[in-house]
Amino acid sequence: MKKIKWGILGLGKIAGKFATGLKDVEGAELYAVASRSKDKAEAFAKEHKATKLFSSYQAMLEDKELEVVYIATPHVFHHQQSLLCLDHKKAVLCEKPFAMNKKQVEEMIAKAKKENIFLMEAMWTQFLPHFQFVLDQIKSKKYGEIKNLKADFGFPAPVDLDKRLYNKNLGGGSLLDIGIYPIFMAMSTLGIPEKIQATAKFHQSGIDEETNMIFEYKNGVEAELNSSIVRQTPTQAVIQFEKATIILNTRFHEPTNIRIQTPAGEEIKEFEVHSNGYNFEAQHVQKMLLEGKTESSEMTFEKSLQLIDLLDKVRYRIGLKY
Ligand SMILES: NC(=O)c1ccc[n+]([C@@H]2O[C@H](COP(=O)([O-])OP(=O)(O)OC[C@H]3O[C@@H](n4cnc5c(N)ncnc54)[C@H](OP(=O)(O)O)[C@@H]3O)[C@@H](O)[C@H]2O)c1
């Protein structure tokens, strides 16, 4: 089997988790890692056994053998760095949120289409077995229609104005970082809402500490969604159907189990996950690349456009400008 040569751009927290997941992907080689710091690149390359290391992102992109780049930098850099990778004819898997607004995402997609190169948003939840199972239940209408959804994601993050979560210049705040998951849950299960209500509490740095949203759909169906970086919340998703309630247990966006409650009782469903869950999205990218695809069949351009459009709309309602 031909090995696909991966590179990681930006060696922060998620980069380490992705590199761990990649070890579980058949046919994947962690070929290159790039950091702004040589020491960091050396340490990361040693820990994750990368073939090559670079102390500049640009230098890594100039490597002729590198095939696909995983972008793991703060949100504000995703747009420009995706374009840069595509300019260098490298396929791209870019962390969520794909970019800061819809216009940027449109530009990235247009560029990928023009260059005929693969581009995908790293919305890893899409590829997790429990999530796929829930989507299948919805599609089969086994439990009838969805009546209501509640999804939240909250944890108390230490206030540190230098770190990306509290730093507005790095795209900080709860909505773009973790609110994206409850929104993705609503979008995947109920589709595009007819109306959006949203309120937020802001930190003095200008980032949203907490955002509360209600998405309204036809027939009075609602999704209550929230994100917080100031308090612990259950971080689960509860989907109420006509004939059952499915609970994606904490933390619902990562590998987890689910509970199915019906009048007959409660069933707990477990899912087999060998690695940390980041392997699934990487495995999918490999499959797409080997099939010569330039767009994911799962995390499509349309989905990414819908997702960023919802984030833009919520931001407009709460008055969050970057
Ligand atoms: N899918 C998931 O489960 C998940 C989880 C967490 C985060 N994320 C996403 O991944 C992205 C990175 O998050 P993270 O938690 O890994 O962040 P992080 O720990 O702060 O790491 C970000 C990395 O980006 C690079 N970078 C480049 N320019 C930077 C700048 N001006 N300031 C700070 N860092 C800069 C740095 O790498 P070098 O110093 O090596 O150049 C840094 O280590 C975010 O967009 C986030 O939404 C996804």
Angle at alpha carbon of residue 98, lines to 298 and 209, rounded to 5°: 120
Please tell me the total count of domains within the chain. 2
- Tell whether ligand 1 has an atom less than 6 A from the beta carbon of residue 303: no
Co-location of 88 and 162 in the same domain: no
Q: Is the pLDDT of residue 256 over 90?
A: yes
Q: What would the mean pLDDT of 19-27 be, rounded to a whole number?
A: 97
Q: Which atom of ligand 1 is nearest to the CA of 14?
A: 16
Q: Is 303 part of a structural domain of the chain?
A: no
Same domain for 10 and 54?
Answer: yes
Distance, CA 170 to ligand 1 centroid (Å)? 10
Q: Tell me: the pLDDT tens digits for 194-210? A: 999 999 999 999 999 99
Give, for ligand 1, the residue of 73, 95, 124, 169 to mutate: max count of ligand atoms closer than 8 Å to Cβ.
73
Domain match, 152 and 242 both: yes
pLDDT tens-digit series, residues 212-227 = 999 999 999 999 999 9
* CATH code, domain carrying 263: 3.30.360.10
Mean pLDDT value across residues 35-47: 98
The β-bridge partners of 212 are 199, 226
| Domain membership flag for residue 286 | no
Q: Of 72, 97, 125, at which residue does a domain stop?
A: 125
Residue 289 lies in a domain: no
Q: Residue 78: which CATH number?
A: 3.40.50.720
pLDDT of residue 2: 77
Q: Do 166 and 88 fall into the same domain? A: no
The CA 72 to ligand 1 mean position distance, Å, reads 5
User: Do 192 and 105 fall into the same domain?
Assistant: no
Domain membership flag for residue 294: no
Order of all β-strands in the sheet with 52-54: 52-54, 28-34, 4-9, 68-71, 91-95, 119-122
Residue 320 forms part of a structural domain:
no
- Kindly report, residue by residue over 95-144, the tens digit of the pLDDT: 999 999 999 999 999 999 999 999 999 999 999 999 999 999 999 999 99
Which of 125, 160, 194 represents a domain boundary (last residue)? 125
Confidence of residue 33 (pLDDT cuts 50, 70, 90): very high
The verdict on 98 and 143 lying in the same domain is no
Residue 321 domain-assigned? Answer: no
pLDDT for the residue numbered 274: 86
114 ligand 1 Cβ < 6 A: no
- Do residues 241 and 174 both lie within one domain? yes
Q: Does a structural domain hold residue 156?
A: yes
What is the sign, positive or negative, of the torsion defined by CA atoms of 261, 266, 267, 270? positive
pLDDT score at 5: 98
Torsion of CA 274, 174, 231, 128, to 10 degrees: -20
For residue 166, pLDDT beyond 80: yes
Query: Do 181 and 113 share a structural domain?
Result: no
**Four-residue CA torsion sign, 270, 272, 276, 278:** negative
* Long-range CB contacts (within 8 A, 24+) of 111-114: 111/82, 111/83, 111/86, 111/87, 112/86, 112/294, 112/295, 113/294
| Ligand 1 contact via 37 beta carbon (within 6 Å) | yes
Mean pLDDT of the region 185-197: 98
- Domain, as residue range, for 185: 129-272
Domain ends where: 253, 272, 291?
272
pTM: 0.98
Query: Is 246 touching ligand 1 by the criterion CB < 6 Å?
Result: no
Measuring from atom 4 of ligand 1, which residue has the nearest CA?
A: 14
- Do 56 and 119 fall into the same domain? yes
pLDDT, mean over the chain: 98
Atom of ligand 1 nearest to the CA of 15: 16
Residues 83 and 155 in one domain: no
- 74 CB less than 6 Å from ligand 1? yes
- Shared domain for 154 and 54, answered yes or no, is no
Whether 78 has a pLDDT exceeding 80, the answer reads yes
